[in-house]
Amino acid sequence: MMQKIKNNKYIFFFLLSISILVYTGSTIAFSLSFKNIIDCLTQKDFNAYHRKIFISIIIVIIQIISFIIYSRLKNGYTKIVMLNLKENLYRKIFSFKIPFFYKSDLSKYISFIFNDLNRYEDSNVIPKINIMEKISLFIFAAIGIMLLYPMLLLFIIGALIVAIILPIFLSKKAKEYSENLSRRNEKAVSKITEILNGFKVMKSFNLIEMASIECVDVTKELENTKFNLRNYMMLVQGFLMFLTTMLTLLVFIIGGSLVVKSVITVGSLIALVQLLFNIVSPIIAIMTSINQIKSVQEIKNKCNEILEYNNDNSIQHLSKGTFDKYIDLKNVSFKYSSNQDYAVTDFNFRFNKNKKYVIVGGNGSGKSTILKLIANYFDEYEGYIQFDNNNTRDLKVDFIYDNLAYIDQDLFLFNKSIKDNITLYKNYDDNRYTELVNGFKIKELSKKHISGVESNLNDLNSVSGGEKQKIVISREILKNSSILLADEPDSALDPQSVSFFIDTILNLKNVTGIMVTHKINHNLSKFDEILVMEHGKLIEHGSYEELVSKNGYFNNKL
């Protein structure tokens, strides 16, 4: 698909270039034909006058047709360029490692895709096409002036040097305004997304006025920045228009004296004025386009940063394969940010293949963080995490996620049917799917929301937290990975579903299971080993009976 788009891009560019030449050439040809019409009138040569009128009509028809073709090709080329860019960006973003992806707030990605890329199209892709058109127009107009009165072209080019140099200096300020606009966009999207996500809280605590004020404040900053950028660009354009007017006046003055001296004809003077406009106007448009292109340099840098992202590690000795022996954590310590305390401190433990483990502890003890570290959600930690004898930092992401399923506390559902949310369009064993759906009693739920093959979950709020948890659990179990991580999978489940879940994971063959839970009950006795954490440290581990007999933290405080 991508290769087809690229091929179309080159075809479009070639046809676009031809259409530009025909359109701009016919524009200048009309100015020269107009000169012949005026000269025929002043000489009262009416036979030649009618012939010149007919030729001019033909030129106008060619000009109109070529303009329509050029406009359509311009729009088509722009569409293909943006489709190609966005497809590459989407693929790169989805190739990010999880830690790298979450270094930026989600709202920044949304702002970049829906705001910055639109500006990139309007201020980079389209202006580059405009520059091609204006350069072609400038060249044809210069040729026309050379044919009529070569010395005038030298004067015009000298006068236009000022119009070229000055905007180059002015573009630096335009770039600053544009970079500020990009930052304001990100800030506004982030703030408004945050407030909308907290809509229920805002309503229940009657914080509507505060929310409105915060939204208005960031919007004011954004609109003021856009206002300043537009005003500055208009100032630059106004200066260039002033130069255009002065040059036109000078041509009339100089050309008029040449007409009086019979050096050129009246028709030549009229044509020179028209050609002058087609010299100056492209220069103004080119300078404006250059300012636009420079103004989105920050957006281009963001695109390049994403497109140049390389998720390859230095070693990468495993990209595909199986997990066969153990997960080993050696002296692992981790903090979420440099100014926070350690969430996990000097954690050492080996999770053996096919064993089932449960991690318990109070809030903030580091239980969930251990799962996220194993799942490669973070890469800036101290110590070592190994799958078999392989450091996870040296493994390709594909290997990790081919061998790992993760039931997260973030119960995410796609806006798809229940079955699609569980299978994610993969061909799993129907008996296994039916077993899970029946065991978690979500068969009736799936019927309720499926009214055809393309049925969607149009109202995800109608699915309870417990039902969402069952769907997510079924999805991860059905994946049949050799490692299953489960973070508080029983938090919203009824006792019967909890029992079914625990029995299911305990009976999974060739699967290393690690579950985090707050619920201390006899179900824990079914696991091979229990890990007890407090303040980020592993303080006890052993079977249920061993921990009870120790009469330590597990037995007395949990």
15-24, 171-180, 380-389, 420-429: least confidently modelled range: 171-180
- Whole-number Å distance between alpha carbons of 241 and 247: 10
Residue type, 293: I
Q: Which of 15-24, 72-81, 445-454 has the lowest mean pLDDT?
A: 445-454
At 553, the pLDDT band (50, 70, 90 cuts) reads: confident
Q: What is the mean pLDDT of residues 474-488?
A: 92
Residue with the larger pLDDT of the pair 347 and 175: 347
SS3 assignment, position 486: strand
Residue 320 has pLDDT above 90, yes or no: no
Measured on CA atoms in the order 223, 218, 117, 225, is the torsion positive or negative?
A: positive
Round the average pLDDT of the chain to a whole number and report it.
84
**pLDDT for the residue 318:** 52
DSSP code for 430: H
| pLDDT at residue 321, rounded to an integer | 55
Instruction: Work out the average pLDDT over 230-237.
Output: 79
Q: What is the mean pLDDT of residues 529-550?
A: 94
Residue 2: pLDDT band with limits 50, 70, 90: very low
CA distance 376 to 96: 12
pLDDT above 50: residue 311:
yes
Confidence of residue 507 (pLDDT cuts 50, 70, 90): very high
Q: At 314, is the pLDDT very low, low, confident or very high (cuts 50, 70, 90)?
A: very low
Please tell me the distance from the alpha carbon of residue 486 to that of residue 506, in angstroms, as a whole number: 12
Q: What is the mean pLDDT of residues 163-167?
A: 62
Given pLDDT bands bounded at 50, 70 and 90, which one contains residue 284? confident
Share of the chain above pLDDT 70, in %: 89
Q: Compute the 3-state secondary structure of the chain and give helix, strand, coil in percent, each to the nearest 5.
A: 65, 10, 25
- Closest by CA to 371, choosing from 340, 342, 404, 394, is 404
**pLDDT reading at 335 higher than 70:** yes
pLDDT at 558: 59
* pLDDT tens string 414-464: 777 788 888 887 888 888 888 898 888 886 665 554 433 334 444 455 678
Q: Is 414 exposed, middle or buried (0-12, 13-18, 19+ CB in 10 A)?
A: exposed
Amino acid 451: pLDDT: 37
Scanning the structure block, which residue is given the tokens 């290769």? 3
Of the pLDDT bands very low, low, confident and very high (cuts 50, 70, 90), residue 359 is very high
Say what the pLDDT of residue 101 is: 86
Task: Dump the DSSP string for 212-223.
Answer: HHHHHHHHHHHH
* Residue range 306-318: mean pLDDT, rounded: 65
What is the C-alpha separation between 120 and 371, in angstroms, rounded? 40
Region for 535 from its dihedrals, namely left if φ exceeds 0, alpha if ψ lies in -120 to 50, beta otherwise:
left
**DSSP state, 111?**
H
Q: 512: closest CA among 541, 482, 473?
A: 482
Quick one: pLDDT at residue 484?
A: 95
From CA 129, how far away is CA 140, in angstroms rounded?
17
* Confidence label for 90 from pLDDT (cuts 50, 70 and 90): very high
Q: How many other CB atoms sit within 10 Å of the CB of residue 156? A: 21
Q: Is pLDDT at 291 greater than 60 in this prediction?
A: yes
- pLDDT, position 395: 83
At 33, give phi and psi (nearest 5°): -70, -35
pTM to 2 decimal places: 0.75
- Residue of higher predicted confidence among 265 and 447: 265
Question: 117, 124, 110: which is closest to 186 by C-alpha?
Answer: 110
